[in-house]
Amino acid sequence: MAPVAIKEKIFNVGVVDWDIRDFHGYSTYKGTTYNAYLVVDDKITLFDTVKKPFKDDLLHNIHKITDPRNIDYLVVNHVEMDHSGSVPEIIEAIKPEKVFCSAMAKKALEAHYGSHPWPLEVVQNGQEISLGQRTVRFLETRMLHWPDSMFSYIPQDKLLISSDAFGQHWATSETFDDEVALTELLRHAAKYYANILMPYSALVQKLLAAVREMNLAVEMIAPDHGLIWRSRPDAILEAYDVWSQQKAQRKALIIYDTMWHSTEKMAHAVASGLAEEGVSYKLMNLKRNHRSDIVTEVLDTKALIFGSPTLNNGMLPTMADILCYLKGLKPTGKIGSAFGSYGWSGEAVKDIVRWMEEMKIEIVEPPIRVQYVPNHDVLAQCVELGRRIGRAVKERTA
């Protein structure tokens, strides 16, 4: 990826990671980018760095614009190592006058990389610095999604450098939102939000309110992952508003795994009941769907219906995996139930219900268990379970 001018004398000098396929359990099947931004002003300033294996690519990109030793300031908006992994080497290469970061970032940098005589300068929320023709205002965004996170806003360019917010894990040769299909871009952005920022939805709402109160003029949003929002920054701001409210559609997910197809038959019967009530649904077999793609669907779903047979006095490992992953993401306002077959003990459904209750998913219909293979009467019960949940979905999303 060559440097790309995103504004006059402002460049994306980051790199594309075409090969990454997993990000802490999140399936990055289309890769990602590590964006870094170089502002050429009286004080040449680099905003963020890149993952350590790509440090030479970053320096090579900077070289195409200026000698890295000409850089005066480094801004560390976020210390997670996909953005700060090359900080020690970059500081050694450019020898900046100052390294700006939040108070929490200073602690995190020292925790990650040890104590160094770096020219760290802690900035406060709302503080501004001058680059010459431009100023930078720092906006603290704690827990979006690390304690150290902050945004950098350049009012003269109406540019918001947004760290991990508003990004996507998507490797492309394109740089801007208007160079790709908006629907696909928003799908990647939704997956990113669901798997990374959903636990902090209340804080996202507060941040959006604060941005409105400050009346910031935002013409372009430049995240640290994925494409830059230059034509439709309003689209991603509106999407974050909806996602952070966790507004649900008339939609249900049947998330299941099966051993000898008995639980699978029950899943399809539940789906029939939902269809009869006119509720949108998706059957998501845990052998065929990655946890992070399931969670993306959870984002706007009202009902979650889980199915698993019993294995060794418990649920299948795939079901334990998705429940553990989902619990950490803290979805809110969900309803649902559970179902499954068993041979001689039948604990799986009970275990699933316990996890659902811990996640505050309201059990609106009693779960269904069947020994061995479901007969016509049991499948009829599953259809009725789907109908009842479908009616509850319609009542609660009216």
Mean pLDDT for 280-288 is 98
157, 200, 225, 365: the catalytic one is 225
Spatial contact of 263 and 285, defined as CB atoms under 8 Å apart: no
Q: What is the pLDDT of residue 142?
A: 87
26, 73, 153, 192: the catalytic one is 192
261 is catalytic: no
Give the H or E element holding residue 182. Answer: helix 182-192
78, 83, 169, 188: the catalytic one is 78
Does the domain spanning 252-390 belong to CATH 3.40.50.10140? no
24 is catalytic: yes
Q: What is the pLDDT of residue 356?
A: 98
Q: Which CATH superfamily includes the segment(s) 4-244?
A: Ribonuclease Z/Hydroxyacylglutathione hydrolase-like (3.60.15.10)
82 is catalytic: yes
200 is catalytic: no
Q: How far apart are CA 293 and CA 282, in angstroms?
A: 12
Instruction: Encode pLDDT of 299-348 as tens digits.
Output: 999 999 999 999 999 999 999 999 999 999 999 999 999 999 999 989 99
Q: What is the pLDDT of residue 207?
A: 87
Mean pLDDT for 8-27 is 96
17, 41, 48, 82: the catalytic one is 82
Six token digits for residue 258: 């099966």
80, 178, 241, 347: the catalytic one is 80
Q: What is the pLDDT of residue 281?
A: 98
Six token digits for residue 236: 């991603």
Spatial contact of 74 and 119, defined as CB atoms under 8 Å apart: no
Residue with token string 């100023």: 135
17, 48, 164, 277: the catalytic one is 164
pLDDT surpasses 80 at 1: no
Map out the domains of the chain as residue ranges. Answer: 4-244, 252-390
Mean pLDDT for 242-261 is 96
17, 73, 145, 342: the catalytic one is 145
Does 207 or 240 have the greater pLDDT score?
Answer: 240
Strand ranges, E, within 189-318: 220-222, 249-256, 280-285, 301-307, 310-311, 314-315
Confidence tier at 82 by pLDDT (50, 70, 90): confident
80 is catalytic: yes
145 is catalytic: yes
Residues sharing a CB contact under 8 Å with residue 16, sequence separation 6 or more, in sequence order: 1, 31, 32, 33, 171, 172, 173
